[in-house]
């Protein structure tokens, strides 16, 4: 399969497959430098980062073009020929299981004149036929047919003209990630100690976790970072933004993250990830609200099991744009709470505008009835645009990007307050007995998780690897 046509990269490459080094505009560079300085020294963020064309163009290259990005879960494409359209940044890719059973991430551009091949969002096919001149590719990406080949392309070697693949692809316990930079660190190194938390999400369900239904998608006039930073996690907003949903009983009050409750923990700067979890009753077996017959803790360590047993709600973000929420909620205030996991991807569309994708997952060995309920509860709460909680967030994040794009914000270098939890600012304290990786806090009045996300953003925009070292980078 043809992948690299240029034998010798130009001198400006910073590694194989990295492509020409990206020259950020001076203005964007100044914003990045100011973001790093003000975040570290003052706990503040220049509002421009949430809506600026130069910053957005740089993000596509420095962040989405250089770091590991979620593509999909293998349970979405269980059969040979199953495929779905996906995006890495704004770039189009086909997530496909080939006839040989292998999962691939193919660049969705015909090797002839470049037309996009995939028009349906998802489906099953043995071949992709280009709508332009009819070149046809197997679901493995190999070129299978060229119209009028013997008259038009006598000398063409089909082996050189297959579809291109994402240079780095990994399957992490069913989650497929891709990276457009060949010399990036391996995914597991990138994920680092956050694996301890992610593994709980993926392994707590009996039979593993399985995607239920198609991912839901909606466009929002919000910057992709607003979603990532909120899930990273801002439980401070829950009791205000989501007050109406809590008042009518769509979520337990315990998930609202009210101030200073001893059972709350914030966990920060664990390599590429941040998470906030709500630990309820340590002696109960909560497991995110799953019926115990659908829970399997056999692959977890005792500390992981202990955390999951006490956990009623958790949100997190893996840099750059994959978030998750694992929660017990309900679609009927008279019915029991039901647990579900949702992956959320904040797809960058343009400065201050994104498309949100939401996958709902349930334990693979749960009953069909439970999976359907998990799906319905997800849709009614956090995992769909009409969810009682989700629509609340959309109604506030767009205001962030609107103001960030203003002349006032630019002229007055308007800055946002991300100071909560900095020394002397709140009563939150590091829990020295926290048994998971990273820092644990004794309540949720702490925005280290958000500062961690924006600290990683600064590193990525500056061309560095992401990942926070403990405790030097805690800011």
Q: Which residues bind ligand FES (CB under 6 A)?
A: 110, 112-115, 130, 132-135
CA 452 to mean position of chain CA atoms: 15
Distance (Å, rounded) from C-alpha 206 to C-alpha 325?
A: 18
Tell me the window of 56-64, 287-295, 355-363, 392-400 that interacts with Fe ion (CB under 5 A).
392-400
Residue 302 CB contacts under 8 Å (≥ 6 apart), including other chains: none
Contact 55, 61 (CB under 8 A): no
Least Cβ distance, residue 157 to ligand FES (angstroms): 16
Nearer to ligand FES, 110 or 361 (CB): 110
Among 59, 271, 393, 446, binds Fe ion (CB under 5 A): 393
Report helix, strand or coil for 85: strand
393, interface contact from Fe ion, ligand FES, none, CB < 5-8 Å by kind: Fe ion
Nearer to ligand FES, 131 or 282 (CB): 131
* Pairing of the two strands 415-417 and 216-220: unpaired
Structure tokens at 205: 């369900």
Least Cβ distance, residue 136 to ligand FES (angstroms): 9
- b/e for 327-363, b at 16 or more Cβ within 10 A? bbbbbeeeeebbbbbbbbbbbbbebbbbbbbbbbbbb
134, interface contact from Fe ion, ligand FES, none, CB < 5-8 Å by kind: ligand FES
Distance (Å, rounded) from C-alpha 165 to C-alpha 143?
A: 13
Structure tokens at 145: 């047919």
Nearer to ligand FES, 134 or 249 (CB): 134
Least Cβ distance, residue 132 to ligand FES (angstroms): 4
Report helix, strand or coil for 354: strand
Nearer to Fe ion, 74 or 447 (CB): 447
Nearer to Fe ion, 393 or 443 (CB): 393
Nearer to Fe ion, 337 or 394 (CB): 394
90, interface contact from Fe ion, ligand FES, none, CB < 5-8 Å by kind: none
Least Cβ distance, residue 65 to ligand FES (angstroms): 24
130, interface contact from Fe ion, ligand FES, none, CB < 5-8 Å by kind: ligand FES
| CA quadruple 76, 82, 84, 89: dihedral sign | positive
Nearer to ligand FES, 142 or 365 (CB): 142
76 binds Fe ion (CB under 5 A): no
Nearest to 166 by CA among 148, 177, 178: 178
Nearer to ligand FES, 111 or 456 (CB): 111
Contact 206, 294 (CB under 8 A): yes
Distance (Å, rounded) from C-alpha 17 to C-alpha 292?
A: 47
82 binds Fe ion (CB under 5 A): no
Least Cβ distance, residue 223 to Fe ion (angstroms): 15
Residues in the chain: 475
113, interface contact from Fe ion, ligand FES, none, CB < 5-8 Å by kind: ligand FES
Least Cβ distance, residue 129 to ligand FES (angstroms): 9
Contact 12, 26 (CB under 8 A): no
> Footprint of Fe ion on this chain (CB under 5 A)?
393
């Amino acid at each position: 399969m043809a992948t690299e046509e240029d034998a010798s990269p130009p001198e400006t490459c910073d590694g194989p497959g990295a492509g020409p080094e990206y020259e950020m505009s001076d203005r964007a560079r100044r914003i990045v430098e100011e973001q790093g300085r003000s975040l570290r020294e003052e706990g503040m963020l220049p509002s421009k980062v949430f809506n600026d064309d130069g910053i957005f163009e740089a993000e596509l290259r420095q962040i989405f073009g250089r770091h590991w990005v979620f593509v999909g879960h293998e349970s979405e494409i269980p059969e040979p020929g199953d495929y779905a359209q996906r995006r890495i940044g704004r770039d189009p890719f086909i997530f496909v299981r080939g006839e040989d059973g292998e999962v691939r991430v193919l660049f969705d551009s015909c090797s002839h004149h470049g037309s996009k091949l995939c028009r349906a969002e998802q489906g099953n096919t043995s071949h992709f036929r280009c709508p332009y001149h009819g070149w046809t590719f197997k679901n493995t990406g190999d070129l299978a047919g060229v119209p009028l080949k013997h008259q038009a392309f006598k000398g063409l070697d089909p082996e050189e003209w297959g579809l291109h693949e994402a240079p780095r692809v990994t399957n992490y316990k069913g989650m497929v990630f891709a990276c457009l930079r060949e010399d990036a660190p391996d995914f597991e190194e990138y994920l680092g100690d956050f694996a301890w938390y992610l593994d709980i999400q993926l392994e707590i369900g009996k039979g593993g976790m399985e995607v239920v239904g198609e991912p839901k998608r909606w466009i929002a006039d919000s910057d992709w970072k607003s979603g990532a930073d909120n899930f990273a996690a801002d439980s401070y907003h829950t009791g205000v933004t989501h007050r109406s949903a809590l008042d009518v009983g769509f979520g337990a009050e315990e998930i609202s993250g009210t101030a200073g409750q001893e059972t709350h923990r914030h966990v920060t700067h664990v390599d590429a990830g941040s998470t906030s979890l709500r630990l309820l009753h340590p002696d109960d077996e909560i497991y995110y609200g799953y019926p115990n017959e659908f829970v399997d803790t056999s692959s977890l360590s005792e500390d992981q099991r202990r955390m999951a047993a006490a956990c009623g709600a958790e949100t997190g973000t893996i840099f750059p744009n994959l978030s998750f929420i694992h929660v017990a909620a309900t679609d009927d205030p008279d019915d029991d709470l039901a647990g579900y996991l949702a992956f959320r991807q904040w797809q960058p569309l343009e400065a201050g505008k994104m498309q949100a994708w939401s996958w709902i997952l349930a334990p693979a060995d749960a009953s069909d009835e439970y999976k359907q309920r998990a799906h319905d509860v997800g849709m009614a709460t956090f995992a769909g645009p009409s969810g009682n909680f989700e629509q609340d967030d959309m109604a506030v994040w767009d205001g962030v990007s609107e103001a960030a794009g203003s002349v006032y914000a630019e002229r007055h270098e308007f800055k946002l307050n991300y100071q909560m939890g900095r020394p002397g600012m709140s009563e939150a304290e590091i829990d020295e007995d926290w048994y998971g990786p990273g820092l644990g806090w004794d309540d949720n009045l702490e925005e280290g998780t958000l500062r961690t996300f924006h600290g990683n953003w600064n590193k990525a925009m500056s061309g560095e690897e992401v990942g926070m070292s403990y405790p030097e980078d805690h800011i």
